[in-house]
A = this chain, B = another copy of it.
Amino acid sequence: MSAALPLPAAAPAAFSLADYEQAARQRLDAATWARVFGAAADEHTAQANRADWAALRLLPRVLRAGAGGHTRVHLLGREWPTPLLAAPMAGLGALHPGGDLALARACAAQGAGLVVSERCGVDIETLAQAVRAEPGRGPLLVQITWHPDRGWMRQWLARIAAAGFDAVVLSVDAPVQGVRDAERRVGPAPIPPCPNLQDRPPLRPDPAAGLCGGWGALAPSWDALAQCLADSPLPLWLKGVLHPDDARQAAALGAAGVIVSNHGGRVLDTAVSTAWALPRVVDALGDALPVAVDGGLRRGTDVLKALALGARAVLIGRPLAAALAVGGALAAAHALRLLRDELEAALLLTGTPHPAAACRDLIAVDGAPLP
């Protein structure tokens, strides 16, 4: 079904995103693998993210297809080719030389959006320039974290706006790094330098306050969010929301959107999966705010399920990192193409003409075989 995109000669045949993850495991050193593909503690949440999407059962409709089917979505005041975006990932340069730009080009070529990490290996202006002019590109955002120095934050938000991004994403789910046993076991992986934050003042938690006291004092609060919203020229999304009440609060304060995420299971192990949280956040928000989601989506049917549960867009992380590691931009584009083809097949096979038509009736609510 997928077009025969030429892969680099040494690349293995890949027919699904899982194939890329398996191939990347063969190629990467243990430390880099653990940094990118490992998760927190016993990795229950990372596994539940994948398993819970797969476990949702689709209840397809027949005889509803027709001319005019498409994958386009509305977001940030515009229409985009697909609901797919690349998730923010730091250190892509360790997977492929110039990995950030390679991923950006792959996304633009496949109509997928891109959320650039503030810790990417290229200055954000260069990256924005490479993408903005591409016809058929998806939305372009940059993901940031909070810093207590409000002046510096204001500058940083202004710089992002000036670079031509469509919106900014504030991550709020990792005030401290998770318990990364996998990484600690194999030792630190070299992380490529990041040119964007060199002037940011360092954070120095009070060692006498203990771990939660010290880092807690430096963590963002709802007031911090209010400041960012006031200081950002661009619409600002909140990333890392799982509790419906937090989503409501974000809406009340003026956020432009919410990304349901548990950081790919990388910070708080045994947190709820994003498939569990998404419909609850969507119900809490109603039409107040658009919602996106990431974490464990690996198939076109997973994307369709997220749309059916109310997501406007989905973010794809590790599988694109894996494709990058396997074959650079071309492989990343191929991975996105595979996913897009799978999504188109899923739309057609469930009688869903386009993403906005996906509704919750597509999901079989009760797993029990008997009424």
Indicate how many identical chains form the complex: 4
Given A15-B185, A179-B345, A349-B176, A268 contacting B212 (CB threshold 8 A): no
| C-alpha gap A178/B243 in the complex (Å) | 36
Interface string of A313-332 (1 = CB under 8 A from B): 00000000000000000000
Contact B212 A60 (CB under 8 A): no
Q: Name which of A22-30, A160-168, A190-198, A220-228 contacts chain B.
A: A220-228
Count how many chain A residues have C-beta atoms less than 8 Å from C-beta atoms of the other chain: 98
Residues on B with beta carbons closer than 8 Å to the beta carbon of A243: 59-62
**Cα–Cα distance between A35 and B36 once the two chains are bound (Å):** 36
> Which residues of chain A in 317-371 are interfacial with respect to chain B, using CB atoms and an 8 Å cutoff?
341-342, 344-350, 353, 360, 363-365, 367-371
Chain A residues within 8 Å of B, Cβ to Cβ: 1, 13, 15-16, 18, 41-42, 44, 48, 52, 54-71, 172-179, 181, 184-185, 209-213, 215-217, 219-222, 224-225, 238, 240-243, 245-246, 249, 267-273, 275-277, 279-280, 283, 299-301, 305, 309, 341-342, 344-350, 353, 360, 363-365, 367-371
B residues in contact with A18, CB < 8 Å = 42
Minimum CB distance partner of A274 in chain B: B369
Question: B271 near A67 (CB under 8 angstroms)?
Answer: no
B347 touches A212 (CB 8 A): yes
* In contact, B69 and A216 (Cβ under 8 angstroms): yes
Question: Which B residues touch A57, using CB under 8 A?
Answer: 48, 270-273, 276
Judge whether B283 and A54 touch: CB under 8 Å: no
Q: Are A172 and B216 closer than 8 Å at their CB atoms?
A: no
